[in-house]
Structure 1
Amino acid sequence: MVHYVDSEVAPLRTVLLHRPGAELARLTPRNNDSLLFDGIPWVTRAQEEHDAFAEALRSRGVEVLHLGTLLAETLAVPQARAELSESVLADQRLGDALRERIRQYLDDQDAQRLADVLMAGLAHEELKPGPGGLVYEMMDRLDFVIDPLPNLLFTRDSSLWVHDRAAVTSLAMPARGRETTLTRAIYRYHPRFAGTDLLYDPSLENLEGGDVLLLAPRVVAIGVGERTTPAGAERLARRVFAAGLADTILAVPIAQERATMHLDTVCTMVDVDAVVMYPNIADTLQAFTVTAGPDGEPRARGPRPFLQAAAEAMGIERLRTIDTGLDPVTAEREQWDDGNNTLAIAPRVCVAYERNVETNAQLERAGIEVVRIRGSELGSGRGGPRCMSCPVQREALQA
């Protein structure tokens, strides 16, 4: 099966989502900060909201793949099962005795239960009865011997597609590092993705999918900030150029504040020549233009205003901007609620949280159809529709 993505806005055909599950129920006031959530979501309501999101996509002709289902199917492959089990057992916190107990536990599970454990984690008390050595005995009963992965919800971050290649990213935050082992195994071992070339690998420099925008078929923007390093942006540029997938990379420095940790939290595309953008940053956002030199090595120049650099690289007169709010207070409120983290499902059609009333009105005034979804609980992890989706197939963008 051919998977292909060369833009942010061409008609979406297949998308990878993760329906939130038991991993969200593991969040408590004691651990939600370390697991990168602002609050404790109501799991049942989050699932209802996510189901409605998936159905909204299906109603527009989009095939929805669920990460949990793909993972369970992948674990039917012995090599995948062994590789993912070893990735958990490599945790140096465990000690030999506890590691052996966990190994035995994992070996006893069928593919579906093993997938559940790899996503939702394993609590200390779930390993009883039996001795576990010093490490196990000194743990608190509420500790995890395998940490849960509540951020799996945001499938955009752990992988992205550039043309017909998948890039499995390198996540910066320790709480998310194991997510990419699951995604990589799916792309390597699941029959649906057989033969897929991997463009990036978790062992490389930090790079996250929320920082990567495919502005045009041969133009890629990469946000550089809290999650993606300059070295990660350069590594992806080097690999994209070597594979002949793009002519221009725009490296975009972004602010380090929590509300702007990824490029797609301040800017997403809603048409072939339009972005919805947080107005407080539109006039100050800069970009370095990176191209391949005669020797194939990346060469950077700049910086210059992002909107100008993007329009030039895309071969258009200007990149239209749609503000997220008419006044600074509204813009800031709706920026915090991921008002501009939209998912384009076709040119001039996007999915957005219904709660961002003014941003959605702004989009509609600009001729963009807005498919509204609920997100009161889904948004507790600070991510919108784009964050929660990884397109694996779009139609090729027509010039």
Structure 2
Amino acid sequence: MMLQRQEMPIQVFSEISRLKRVILHRPGKELENLIPMNLERLLFDDIPYLEAAQAEHDAFARVLNENDVEVLYLEQLVAQAIDDAQVKEAFIDEWLSESGLEPGSHYAKVKEYLMAYEDTFEMVLKTMAGFTKAEIKVPHGNTLLDNINKDYPLLIDPMPSLYFTRDPFATIGNGVALNYMYSETRNRETIYGKYLFEHHPAFNNQKVPLYYFRNESTYIEGGDILVLSKDVLGIGISQRTDARSIEKIARNVFKDTSYQQVLAFMIGSNRKFMHLDTVFTMIDHDKFLIHPEIEDYLKVFAITEDGRGGIRLEEKMESLEHILEEALKLENVQLIRCGGDDPVVSAREQWNDGANALALAPGELIVYDRNIVTNQLLEDAGIKLHKIKGSELVRGRGGPRCMSMPIYRER
């Protein structure tokens, strides 16, 4: 669907306000270019079955549609942006420059291959899927690197994590953080956000403000950014987000928005807790879903303006509940623990994204059905759940919040 030119496309001042518009990416052939040899580098633990993953993702999109949420697809939006601005060759050149492929005969052949697409949408999908060596035949293309890597069947790696649209860019208020990501393989994903916000008429006509930039030197990812209110952001210091990045984005939002405070949650650098939203999610005005394993060592720092254009840091020593009550001006905060009090259940359900939920509205969530104990605790607390299957989707280590990038919530 094409966004209308006159619309103000971005409005996200809360994690929980009624969701009206969201960007997804339907898993594609990039998953079929995962092989045991590249799993670790491409940040996967296993190879999802594409047909089943697509069926699960389609069911996720249906739940959104059935609850009056407009679903937009990243791949369609980027194709529209490229066509509208007539920047196909510029996009291909920039994508190739970040593909890991050195200029030469293979490089030229891949460019020729992509330029030959008449359908820009199909071309965009191909850039996401990557290229095998069998697809690009060059008569005299042998290089030393080719011979060293002759057992590796891919010429250009796929981007299998793209269905986690939360991470390459993050909406904050009426603007966007276009992120510099932790790993080279995922940082390539941010090119789609760049072309979307620079060239799609629904965005570039509005001159969407950017609060972070993909050419920064320190990394940050959208799964670590929580919009707790119109005044307060929460950002995780994690495996995927550097503390220096949080200071940079804090300065930018203080300068350009009404945000007054950033709470930095130090959750540790750990694959199983890769982002803040894998262990901590806002689910209602006064309720949060949390993985209990982080509670003993979680540190929270409040970042505010110092009145001279700089920032002030304060480590908060109170309980997490009190920190949230004070920051969000609440009388009482309830923490609902993923898996409850059983450490085995808690660890298992957190690994399967039991602590990662997407709020459709205050107290109304989309969750994976497999996290039975956590889901029961949520329902006991009065939370309305829409349960989806995710046996294949979860293999990429992400849940419903990870798979969605809200761009419009009601105020």
Under TM normalisation by the shorter chain, which class is it?
Answer: over 0.9
* Cα RMSD after superposing both structures: 1.7
Q: Report the alpha carbon displacement of residue 90 of structure 1 after superposing the two structures with TM.
A: 1.7
**CA 1:145–1:112 in structure 2 vs 1: closer, same or farther (change >3 Å)?**
same
Alpha carbons 2:85, 2:200 under 8 Å: kept = no
Aligned position for 2:111: 103
**CA 1:130–1:353 in structure 2 vs 1: closer, same or farther (change >3 Å)?**
same
In structure 2, C-alpha distance between the alignment counterparts of 1:83 and 1:383, rounded to whole Å: 32
Aligned position for 1:167: 177
Task: Find the partner of 1:13 among 16, 20, 23.
Answer: 20
In structure 1, C-alpha distance between the alignment counterparts of 2:67 and 2:168, rounded to whole Å: 25
Alpha carbons 2:89, 2:115 under 8 Å: kept = no
In structure 1, C-alpha distance between the alignment counterparts of 2:52 and 2:13, rounded to whole Å: 34
Percent identity, aligned pairs only, is 38
Identify which range, 383-392 or 124-133, moves more after superposition: 124-133
In structure 2, C-alpha distance between the alignment counterparts of 1:235 and 1:143, rounded to whole Å: 40
Look up the SS of the partner of 2:194 in the other structure: helix
Aligned position for 2:203: 193
Q: Report the alpha carbon displacement of residue 83 of structure 1 after superposing the two structures with TM.
A: 3.4
Q: Report the alpha carbon displacement of residue 142 of structure 1 after superposing the two structures with TM.
A: 4.6
TM alignment of 1:1-399, pairs within 5 A: 1-2=7-8, 3-77=10-84, 80-91=87-98, 93-110=101-118, 111-134=120-143, 137-138=146-147, 139-140=149-150, 142-194=152-204, 195=206, 196-204=208-216, 205-304=218-317, 305-326=319-340, 327-396=342-411
In structure 2, C-alpha distance between the alignment counterparts of 1:242 and 1:44, rounded to whole Å: 46
**CA 1:234–1:26 in structure 2 vs 1: closer, same or farther (change >3 Å)?**
same
Alpha carbons 1:218, 1:245 under 8 Å: kept = yes
Query: Where does the alignment leave 5 or more consecutive residues of structure 1 unmatched?
Result: none
In structure 2, C-alpha distance between the alignment counterparts of 1:93 and 1:37, rounded to whole Å: 22
Q: Report the alpha carbon displacement of residue 123 of structure 1 after superposing the two structures with TM.
A: 1.4
Q: Report the alpha carbon displacement of residue 200 of structure 1 after superposing the two structures with TM.
A: 1.5
In structure 2, C-alpha distance between the alignment counterparts of 1:134 and 1:232, rounded to whole Å: 39
Query: Where does the alignment leave 5 or more consecutive residues of structure 2 unmatched?
Result: 1-6
In structure 1, C-alpha distance between the alignment counterparts of 2:297 and 2:30, rounded to whole Å: 38
Q: Report the alpha carbon displacement of residue 20 of structure 1 after superposing the two structures with TM.
A: 0.2
Look up the SS of the partner of 1:148 in the other structure: coil
Q: Report the alpha carbon displacement of residue 133 of structure 1 after superposing the two structures with TM.
A: 4.7
**CA 1:144–1:135 in structure 2 vs 1: closer, same or farther (change >3 Å)?**
farther
Q: Report the alpha carbon displacement of residue 349 of structure 1 after superposing the two structures with TM.
A: 0.1
Look up the SS of the partner of 1:125 in the other structure: coil
Alpha carbons 1:121, 1:147 under 8 Å: kept = yes
The one-character-per-residue Cα deviations of 1:340-387 (angstroms, maximum 9, x if unpaired) are 100001000000000000000000000100110000000001000000
In structure 2, C-alpha distance between the alignment counterparts of 1:80 and 1:308, rounded to whole Å: 51
TM-score, length-scaled by structure 1: 0.95
Look up the SS of the partner of 1:157 in the other structure: coil
In structure 2, C-alpha distance between the alignment counterparts of 1:215 and 1:24, rounded to whole Å: 33
**CA 1:359–1:126 in structure 2 vs 1: closer, same or farther (change >3 Å)?**
same
Matched pairs, number: 396
Q: Report the alpha carbon displacement of residue 78 of structure 1 after superposing the two structures with TM.
A: 5.0
Alpha carbons 2:280, 2:288 under 8 Å: kept = yes
The one-character-per-residue Cα deviations of 1:184-243 (angstroms, maximum 9, x if unpaired) are 211211122232222221112211000011111110011012110011101110111011
In structure 2, C-alpha distance between the alignment counterparts of 1:142 and 1:311, rounded to whole Å: 53
In structure 2, C-alpha distance between the alignment counterparts of 1:231 and 1:72, rounded to whole Å: 34
Give the aligned residue type for 1:230: A
The one-character-per-residue Cα deviations of 1:37-74 (angstroms, maximum 9, x if unpaired) are 11111110000000000000110000001111112222
Look up the SS of the partner of 1:216 in the other structure: coil
In structure 1, C-alpha distance between the alignment counterparts of 2:257 and 2:386, rounded to whole Å: 35
In structure 2, C-alpha distance between the alignment counterparts of 1:129 and 1:332, rounded to whole Å: 49
The one-character-per-residue Cα deviations of 1:158-186 (angstroms, maximum 9, x if unpaired) are 11111111111111112111100111211
Alpha carbons 1:124, 1:136 under 8 Å: kept = no
**CA 1:136–1:98 in structure 2 vs 1: closer, same or farther (change >3 Å)?**
farther
In structure 2, C-alpha distance between the alignment counterparts of 1:152 and 1:134, rounded to whole Å: 31
Give the aligned residue type for 1:190: H
In structure 2, C-alpha distance between the alignment counterparts of 1:135 and 1:363, rounded to whole Å: 57
Look up the SS of the partner of 1:84 in the other structure: helix
Q: Report the alpha carbon displacement of residue 336 of structure 1 after superposing the two structures with TM.
A: 0.8
Alpha carbons 1:168, 1:202 under 8 Å: kept = yes
Alpha carbons 1:88, 1:146 under 8 Å: kept = no
